[in-house]
Chain A
């Protein structure tokens, strides 16, 4: 590890992530205004001391809505990746470690899933389940499984014939023990970096789906939904779209920077 060169990316990433987390935590405790409270006199009001980010088309305080919107977006990204990762590791570990006929079938099915653009596949699933926050989580979670399965599988194939895996088999260790106590820790680094890329993809994917009106439904707030609302008033209140977009950029940038710096630390 190189300690002489300062890891600027790590610090910037940490600061940005800290800001976002602070925003979300503050929203959990108390937002400046109730996020659904409308005030007709403040329609599309600009930035002021009372409303640091201005107000939206119904006179709702944007800062308060960004607070809960960022939380929803974060939660969706988190759950989506948790689903994708859990099943991805399970499928990838089994197919990669054992190989054979089962592996062939699951991987061809995987190829089929991967050959669709992910947003299209999520659209189909949403069409089956109907729109809503939880449906978005499940649909996107399913869409995220194949790519994780693929990554985990290739790593397991790399490690399954290592001498130390043989050595543990010779000690009488079971396959499950080898898979999850010995190989998985070695795959951890690869999973971590792909997890962060997956997280960013999920944030963008949620934004795209809410933008299309099939994601989070009003009056709930998410960053994607707020962006799609803001586009109607792009010229009358450009600060609305710009500020929400800025928060989203911060979120994605912080995770990209963290991922990059983690890769550097890993070497």
Chain B
């Protein structure tokens, strides 16, 4: 067992009335597994992911339960221990490639940053590694991309750069928060293929968050369905699509637009 989340609840305390956004979230992940979380906006899927990544602020918020990563509880371990895990063991890519890169720093610098923080490679070694990573995410002309600024790249290229920078330290867990949502369908497919390739080649586990059931169906082995902060159903991808147990999942599946043959 590499990641085990037990009874995670997240409560906001920044208003007068406390507000609970995630109730009793449970999740187990084995090494090399791709697990999907689906649900509509506001169902708490992103909040759960941020909590697993250790990105939720420690004040204004109350978290109950446990997030065990390799036996260590991310909710209670020290900041220093958490920072050592972040980037090295756990990587994350966000929805908006436009906002995920610092507009004033060159792409190469940003891809290398995790190496700067977690390894003691020299400048040349870092550059070599970054170029290698950029070509692993199937970017062409890596030298030019290494030297360019984020605004000079397209959305798909930027998302690939984000993947490169999240994966450069070879993390064992990648959290992908709606990473294909803002991309068009062809780029989406390419990015999904890329994720699958990384999963096969380096055995990385992926927690894939999306509201797009078609995408989740393509890539995940197991799926969690969330609604209003609760996990309403959990199962293997086939089981869930063939035989949904709850009303909500059925509705969700019915909402997928189907292409019917037009009769004239």
Contacts and interface: CB of A to CB of B under 8 A. Distances in A.
Co-complex (A, B): yes
B147 interface: no
Given A163-B99, A164-B100, A185-B105, A172 B55 contact: no
A51 interface: no
Interface residues of A, number: 18
B11 interface: no
B102 A182 contact: yes
Interface string B74-86: 0000000001111
Contacts of B99: 162-164
Contact of A172 (B94, B96, B102, B117): B117
Interface in B61-115: 83-88, 90-92, 94-96, 99-105, 110, 113-114
Contacts of B117: 171-173, 177
- For the residues of A in contact with B, the DSSP-based class is helix
A166 B55 contact: yes
A185 B86 contact: no
Contact of B100 (A167, A169, A174): A167
B183 to A, nearest CB: 15
B118 interface: yes
Given A164-B101, A182-B105, A170 B86 contact: yes
A188 B162 CA distance: 25
A17 to B, nearest CB: 26
Contacts of A186: 102-104
B240 interface: no
B130 interface: no
A100 interface: yes
A182 B90 CA distance: 21
A192 interface: no
Contacts of B260: none
Given A171-B117, A186-B103, A163 B94 contact: yes
Interface of B: 53-55, 59, 83-88, 90-92, 94-96, 99-105, 110, 113-114, 117-118, 162, 165-166
Interface of A: 100, 162-164, 166-174, 177, 182, 185-186, 188
